[in-house]
Structure 1
Amino acid sequence: MTLDRAPVPVSFFSIAVGVLALGNAWRVAERLWHLPHGIADLLTWSGIVLWLALLALYAHKWLHHASDARAELNHPVQSSFAALGPVSSLLAAMALEPHSHPLALAVFALAVTAQLALGLQLYGRMWQGSGKPELITPAIYLPAVAQNFVAGAAAAAFGWPSLGMLFFGAGLFSWLAIESLILSRAALQGPLPEALRPVLGIQLAPAVVGGVTYLAVNGGKPDLFAQILLGYGLYQALLLLRLLPWIARQPFVPSYWAFSFGVAALPTLALRLLASGATGPVEWLAPALFAAANVIIGVLAFKTVALLLQGRLLPAVTAPR
Structure 2
Amino acid sequence: MSDASQPDLDTGNRLVNFPITFYAITMGLFGLTLALHAASRVLEWVGPFSGIMQWISMAVFAIITIGYLAKIALYPAAFKGDWNHPIRATFFPAASISLLLMSVTFLPEHAGIANILWLIGASLQGVLTLAIIARWIGHKPFEYSHINPAWFIPAVGNVVVPIAGAQLGYVEVSWLFFSGGVLFWIILLTLVMNRLIFHTPLPGKLLPTLVIMIAPPAVGFLSYLQLNGDVDTFARILLNLGYVFALIVLTQVPRIVKIPFAMSFWALSFPVASLTIASFRYGAVAKSQSHEIIGIILLVVLVLLVAVLALRTLLAIARGQICQPE
Q: Is the TM-score greater than 0.5?
A: yes
Identity percentage over the alignment? 29
Matched residues in 2 for 1:119 and 1:246: separation?
A: 31
Label 1:313 to 1:157 Cα distance change in 2 as closer, same or farther (>3 A).
Answer: farther
SS at match of 2:180: helix
**2:73 counterpart residue number:** 63
Query: Hey, what does 2:7 align to over in structure 1?
Result: none
d(CA) in 1 for partners of 2:171 and 2:197? Answer: 38
Q: How do residues 71-150 of structure 1 correspond to structure 2 at under 5 angstroms?
A: 71-98=81-108, 100-128=110-138, 130-146=141-157, 148-150=158-160
Partner residue in 2 for 1:311: 320
The amino acid of 1:203's aligned partner reads: M
Q: Are 1:288 and 2:313 counterparts? A: no
C-alpha deviation, 1:286, in angstroms: 2.0
Aligned length: 315
CA gap of 1:201–1:227, structure 2 versus 1, over 3 A, is same
Contact 1:162 1:217 in 2 (8 A): no
Q: Evaluate the alpha carbon distance shift between residue 183 and residue 156 of structure 1 in structure 2; reply closer, same or farther with a 3 A threshold.
A: same
Q: Indicate how the Cα distance of structure 1 residues 279 and 102 shifts in structure 2: closer, same or farther if over 3 A, else same.
A: closer
Q: Deviations over 1:240-272 (max 9, x none)?
A: 121122233420111101111101011100000
**Residue segments in structure 2 that go unaligned for 5+ positions in a row:** 1-9
- Indicate conservation of the 8 Å contact 2:12/2:324, yes or no: no
Please, what is the CA RMSD of the aligned residues? Answer: 2.0
1:156 and 1:217 in contact (8 A); partners too? yes
For the Cα contact (< 8 Å) 1:152–1:166, is it kept in 2? Answer: no
User: Does the 8 A contact of 2:42 with 2:292 survive in 1?
Assistant: no
Separation (CA, whole Å) in 2 of partners of 1:156 and 1:2: 44
* 1:257 partnered with 2:266: yes
1:130-176 per-residue CA deviation (whole Å, 9 max, x = no partner) reads: 21011100111111101x11112121232333432222111111101
Partner of 2:21: 11
Q: CA–CA distance in 1 between the matches of 2:27 and 2:292? A: 26
Equivalent position amino acid for 1:31 in 2: R
Indicate how the Cα distance of structure 1 residues 278 and 225 shifts in structure 2: closer, same or farther if over 3 A, else same: farther
**Which is worse superposed, 230-239 or 1-10?**
1-10
Q: Which of 50-59 and 265-274 deviates more? A: 50-59
Name the counterpart of 1:273. Answer: 282
1:160 aligns with 2:173: no
Corresponding residue SS for 2:251 = helix
**Aligned-residue offset at 1:100:** 4.4
Does the CA contact (< 8 Å) of 2:82 and 2:89 recur in 1? yes
Identify the residue that residue 244 of structure 2 maps to in structure 1.
Answer: 235
Query: What do residues 63-117 of structure 1 show as CA deviations (whole Å, max 9, x unaligned)?
Result: 0111111111111111000110100111112223556444432222222111111
**1:33 aligns to what?**
43
